[in-house]
């Protein structure tokens, strides 16, 4: 009786430990994604007067308020003139071309990584980050300075932009920099890139979001997908992929915090084994404890046995969601960007649509994290969130917003 209860208690204690730390891991990845989307929405809202699309969105909103028909917005959105269909065709061609280019570049990345051109890839990523921070960021900063009439001279602006850009590149790619600076600059790069994508035509933006979701699904899950090949190659070599990836590590980790949960769980099991088998070999127990002390595993994902030099519980991601070598959850910066593009596009319409899209994206990200816990391998993070976001955008814009406007009109009549 005592032995049976002793064997069941460690498992229960281990499972409760996982549940206790599950929310912490989710918050560490949800918070930066939410911050990135919030900053993009604020930028779009502040600088929307410079976008020609705002006038057409305003006219569409006015037409929905003056026309009592509940499907007037749907008619304007889907049954437009011949020019609308031309825009849709152009958007499909643009999205397809973009996916083809991204696919070719990813296969090129796999080829260079296979031939161990890691230094070249790091230099290329550094130049790309410098371009985003200096040119794209500089232009957006100029728009903000002009919009808010901030007094600053060109020389000071150039010095500040140069310092922020150079420090940002080093913070992203130099491991000696604090993790907080690395995370902050990755979010900044995502915000700047996402805002530029929101300046694309409306139909092009939606076609691009759907196309990239399908590409992410195929690239990560198909056996010949470029991202899957890249992940498997990195795992076989036990190397990190030189890419812009956000790692949800704690900013100020406590010593042993990452391994505490699994160490406690396994230590309890070892103690139960000692109690139930008094004649066990002491040396075997000590070797088991040593192996446990060297194990580093994320609390969200259970540990896996090792085969040779390859750790099956560790996944490196270039775009998608998985586990890093430190055991932390990793999310590709492309996911940050396209999440933010969706809510940024919604912000060009109204904030009620933004709230709906944000909740849909968070729900999709939560589903992806649960799937990550089940399948324990790198998964595409775009498909579920983007599809839910697009559906909620259409439902909110076509049905919910028209219903709210009609209710408001009826209240004004009384």
Residues with a known catalytic role: 216, 335
SS (H, E, C) 186-198: HHHHHHHHHHHHH
Considering all CA atoms of the chain, what is the largest pairwise distance in Å, rounded to the nearest integer?
Answer: 87
**Number of CB atoms found within 10 A of residue 43's CB:** 21
Strand partners, 332: 245
Query: Which of helix, strand or coil describes residue 243?
Result: coil
User: Which residues lie below 8 Å from residue 303, measured CB to CB, with a gap of 6+?
Assistant: 262, 295, 297, 313
3-class secondary structure, 322: strand
CA distances to 11, 288, 361 from 7, rounded to whole Å, are: 8, 18, 41
Q: And the tokens for 228?
A: 């899957």
- State both tokens at 388: 């839910």
Q: How far apart are CA 279 and CA 276, in angstroms?
A: 9
How far from 332 is each of 51, 96, 277, CA to CA, in Å? 29, 21, 47
How many angstroms from the chain centroid is the CA of residue 267?
Answer: 35
Q: Do 285 and 270 contact (CB within 8 A), yes or no?
A: yes
CA separation for the pair 270, 284 (Å, rounded):
11
Cα–Cα distances in Å, from 330 out to 193, 258, 317, 404? 19, 15, 7, 39
């Amino acid at each position: 009786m005592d032995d049976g209860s002793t064997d069941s208690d460690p498992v229960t204690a281990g499972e409760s430990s996982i549940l206790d730390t599950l929310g912490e891991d989710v918050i560490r990845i949800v918070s930066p994604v939410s911050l990135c989307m919030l900053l993009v929405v604020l930028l779009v809202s502040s600088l929307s007067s410079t976008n020609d699309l705002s006038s057409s969105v305003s006219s569409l909103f006015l037409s929905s308020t003056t026309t009592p028909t509940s499907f007037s917005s749907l008619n304007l959105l889907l049954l437009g003139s011949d020019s609308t269909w031309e825009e849709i065709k152009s958007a499909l061609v643009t999205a397809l071309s973009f996916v083809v280019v991204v696919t070719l570049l990813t296969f090129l990345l796999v080829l260079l990584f296979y031939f161990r051109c890691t230094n070249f890839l790091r230099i290329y990523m550094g130049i790309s980050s410098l371009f985003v921070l200096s040119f794209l960021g500089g232009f957006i900063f100029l728009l903000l300075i002009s919009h808010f009439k901030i007094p600053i001279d060109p020389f000071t602006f150039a010095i500040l932009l140069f310092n922020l850009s150079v420090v940002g590149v080093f913070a992203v790619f130099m491991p000696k920099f604090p993790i907080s600076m690395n995370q902050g600059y990755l979010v900044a790069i995502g915000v700047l890139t996402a805002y530029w994508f929101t300046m694309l035509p409306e139909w092009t933006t939606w076609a691009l979001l759907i196309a990239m979701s399908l590409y992410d699904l195929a690239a990560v899950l198909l056996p010949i997908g470029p991202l899957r090949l890249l992940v498997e190659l990195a795992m076989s070599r036990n190397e990190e992929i030189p890419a812009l990836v956000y790692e949800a590590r704690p900013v100020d980790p406590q010593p042993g915090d990452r391994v505490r949960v699994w160490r406690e769980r396994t230590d309890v099991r070892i103690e139960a084994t000692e109690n139930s088998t008094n004649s066990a070999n002491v040396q075997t127990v000590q070797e088991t404890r040593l192996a446990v002390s060297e194990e580093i595993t994320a609390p969200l994902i259970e540990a896996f046995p090792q085969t040779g030099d390859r750790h099956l519980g560790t996944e490196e991601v270039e775009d998608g969601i998985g586990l890093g070598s430190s055991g932390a959850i990793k999310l590709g910066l492309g996911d940050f960007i396209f999440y933010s593009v969706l809510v940024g596009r919604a912000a060009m319409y109204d904030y009620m649509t933004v709230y709906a899209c944000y909740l849909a994206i968070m729900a999709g990200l939560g589903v992806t994290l649960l799937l990550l816990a089940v399948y324990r391998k790198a998964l595409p993070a775009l498909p579920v969130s983007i599809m839910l976001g697009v559906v909620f955008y259409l439902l909110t814009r076509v049905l919910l917003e028209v219903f709210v406007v009609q209710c408001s009109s009826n209240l004004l009549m009384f």
